[in-house]
């Protein structure tokens, strides 16, 4: 089989900040700021935040030298990686990669941050490691064929994320090729992430992303201290590619490595929902505004999705029409459409407001999602989609090929900062937000990652609260 593990390890071990095209670390800094803003809001409001903190405290892990974003306590390094991974993914507001059909930062960044605090790495080392993790994780997702992987019940953000997290942590720690191979070997035994959470809105999705971050860090630390991992965890006869997908393409796992930067293909989300919903939401919001549509006049709505997206957020239709939790809402195209038609956008605060609203629920039942040939033709390069709204005064429709936030339609610097401010604003004072944002965007010049992360602890703003 095509060699994968050692070429990946060679790439990570040799990668240097000064060899990166300038736009690559710049994008990594923007993605890092996005993660920090999401985690700050999530530590205060995500439902899982309180139970996670309590469990880690009971396990004796809420003491140590590492930071959980927005938290006042010190945590053991694995706990910090785990908790930050949960927080970064819990709002489903984190970045995405269309072709890989995953969320790159949530498992990668927490592992790299914990390793950086543990090892005293500087900002350039951190950014280099994060990029290395992105490049590995994304290529593995492409190699495994995300649609086929989803069809088997796996979530590639976690299954591929543990390898990316191991690479990122290993690169922070300065491991050589042989030790990174061992880290990947150990990570291969931790590749997990079931989609069963879609059946009941449970918290498994951020949980297994947090585990990917934690297990990648643990794999790198064990490898650094001489613990040997298998040599071919990805391409081997019982390795990841053979075991987790029916027809993987091993060559895609290393194609263009170090030459084509998948980091630049990562998108930022304007809405806190499954990325497949964003093109239809863009369409709905634009059509509503252009035609001054009041939600009360809507007779029916038809949403057009690529097939992979339809399976995630469009069916089974009966359950998508009756979400029971905010997780259900984030994966219900009908409910998201109903919010967009009522509010003119979709924001994190809307879930609590609309979940039990009878008008929103009635409108939700008038929305139908379909797998669409035009959207499928654009996939996987783009998570395209469209919407048609029928009213007594006529039908209005639009198709969006490139949703807002994709690299070809990326958020501006001002929009990225506005998202950060909206997320952190309720809990962090304006002056402190300015300080945090400047530190994160200037991380390349940071000598102490721990000092940067400690800026996110409760202090100038309202104190971190238990989850709601």
- Per-residue pLDDT reduced to its tens digit, 365-393: 999 999 999 999 999 889 999 999 999 99
431-458 pLDDT, tens digit each: 999 999 999 999 999 999 999 999 999 9
Beta bridge partners of 96: 267
Q: Is the pLDDT of residue 462 over 50?
A: no
Contact between residue 400 and residue 384 where contact means Cβ atoms under 8 Å apart: yes
Q: Is the pLDDT of residue 194 over 50?
A: yes
Residue ranges making up the domain that contains 30: 5-267
Bond preceding residue 316 cis, omega within 30 of 0: yes
How would residue 319 be classed by pLDDT, with cut points 50, 70 and 90? very high
> What's the structural domain count of the chain?
2
Choosing from 226, 244, 267, the residue where a domain stops is: 267
Q: What is the pLDDT of residues 8-30, one digit of tens each?
A: 999 999 999 999 999 999 999 99
pLDDT at 326: 87
- Same-domain pairing of 353 and 229: no
Nearest to 313 by CA among 390, 368, 377, 360: 368
**Whole-number pLDDT of residue 1:** 66
**What pLDDT shows up at residue 211?**
98
Nearest by Cα to 184 from 148, 137, 138: 137
The CATH number covering residue 95 comes to 1.10.4100.10
Is the pLDDT confidence value at 44 over 70?
yes
In a domain, 183, yes or no: yes
Q: Is residue 412, in this structure, part of any structural domain at all?
A: no
- Counting residues of the chain whose pLDDT is more than 90, the rounded percentage is 95
pLDDT at 465 over 80: no
Does residue 153 belong to any structural domain of this protein? yes
Position 140 in a domain: yes
Asked if residue 384 belongs to a domain, the reply is: yes
Kindly tell me if the per-residue pLDDT of 413 is higher than 90. yes
Examine the domain organization and report whether 108 and 223 are in the same domain. yes
Q: Is the pLDDT of residue 218 over 90?
A: yes
Q: pLDDT digit string (tens) for 50-105?
A: 999 999 999 999 999 999 999 999 999 999 999 999 999 999 999 999 999 999 99
Q: What is the pLDDT of residue 391?
A: 98
The CA distance from 24 to 34, in Å, is: 16
Write the pLDDT tens digit of every residue in 153-183: 999 999 999 999 999 999 999 999 999 999 9
On whether both 32 and 118 belong to a single domain, the answer is yes
Q: Residues 6 or more apart from 462 whose CB is under 8 A from it? A: 44, 426, 427
Res 460: pLDDT: 36
Rg over alpha carbons for the chain, rounded to the nearest Å, is 21
The structure's pTM equals 0.92
Residue 417 lies in a domain: no
Residues 308 and 254 in one domain: no
CA–CA separation, 255 vs 257, rounded Å?
5
For residue 351, pLDDT beyond 90: yes
Q: Are residues 93 and 205 in the same domain?
A: yes
Task: Specify the pLDDT at position 56.
Answer: 98
* 242 and 287 both lie in a single domain: no
Q: What is the DSSP string of 439-451?
A: HHHTGGG-S-HHH
The pLDDT value given to residue 436:
98
Contact 67, 453 (CB under 8 A): yes
Closest by CA position to 109, among listed 11, 30, 16:
30
Query: E-strand spans in 76-184?
Result: 96-97
Q: Indicate if 186 and 301 belong to the same structural domain.
A: no
Query: What average pLDDT does the segment 97-122 reach?
Result: 97
- pLDDT level of residue 38 (50, 70, 90 thresholds): very high
Within this chain, do residues 94 and 111 fall inside the same structural domain, yes or no?
Answer: yes
């Amino acid at each position: 089989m095509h060699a994968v593990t050692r070429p990946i390890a060679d790439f990570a071990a040799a990668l240097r900040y000064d060899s990166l095209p300038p736009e690559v670390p710049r994008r990594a800094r923007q993605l890092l700021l996005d993660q920090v803003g999401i985690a700050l809001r999530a530590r205060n409001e995500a439902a899982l935040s309180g139970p996670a903190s309590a469990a880690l405290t009971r396990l004796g892990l809420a003491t140590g030298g590492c930071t959980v974003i927005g938290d006042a306590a010190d945590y053991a390094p694995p706990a910090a990686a785990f908790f930050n991974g949960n927080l970064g993914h819990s709002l489903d507001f984190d970045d995405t990669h269309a072709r890989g059909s995953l969320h790159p930062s949530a498992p990668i960044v927490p592992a790299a941050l914990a390793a950086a605090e543990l090892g005293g790495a500087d900002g350039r080392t951190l950014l280099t490691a994060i990029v290395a993790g992105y490049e590995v994780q994304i290529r593995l997702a492409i190699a495994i064929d995300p649609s086929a992987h989803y069809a088997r019940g796996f979530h590639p953000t976690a299954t591929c994320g543990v390898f990316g997290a191991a690479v990122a942590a290993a690169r922070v720690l300065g491991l050589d090729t042989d030790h990174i191979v061992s880290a990947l070997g150990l990570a291969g035994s931790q590749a997990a992430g079931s989609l069963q959470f879609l059946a009941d809105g449970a918290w498994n999705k951020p949980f297994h992303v947090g585990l990917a971050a934690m297990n990648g860090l643990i794999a790198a630390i064990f490898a650094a201290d001489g613990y040997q991992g298998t040599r071919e965890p990805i391409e081997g006869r019982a390795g990841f590619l053979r075991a987790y997908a029916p027809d993987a393409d091993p060559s895609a796992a290393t194609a263009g490595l170090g030459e084509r930067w998948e980091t630049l293909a990562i998108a930022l989300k304007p809405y806190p929902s499954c990325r497949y919903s964003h093109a239809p939401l863009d369409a709905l919001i634009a059509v509503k505004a252009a035609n001054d549509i009041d939600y009360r006049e809507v007779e029916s709505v038809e949403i057009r999705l690529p097939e992979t997206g339809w399976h995630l957020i469009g069916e089974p239709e009966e359950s998508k029409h009756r979400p029971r939790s905010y997780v259900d809402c984030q994966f219900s195209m009908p409910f998201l459409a109903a919010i967009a038609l009522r509010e003119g956008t979709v924001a994190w605060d809307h879930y609590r407001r609309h979940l039990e609203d009878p008008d929103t629920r009635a409108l939700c039942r008038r929305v139908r999602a379909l797998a669409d040939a035009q959207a499928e033709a654009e996939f996987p390069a783009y998570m395209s989609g469209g919407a048609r709204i029928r009213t007594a005064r006529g039908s209005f429709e639009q198709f969006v090929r490139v949703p807002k936030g994709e690299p070809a339609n990326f958020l501006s610097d001002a929009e990225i900062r506005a998202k950060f401010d909206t997320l952190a604003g309720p809990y962090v004072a304006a002056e402190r937000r300015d300080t945090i944002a400047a530190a994160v965007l200037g991380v390349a010049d940071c000598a102490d990652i721990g000092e940067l992360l400690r800026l996110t602890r409760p202090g100038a703003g309202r104190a971190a609260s238990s989850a709601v």
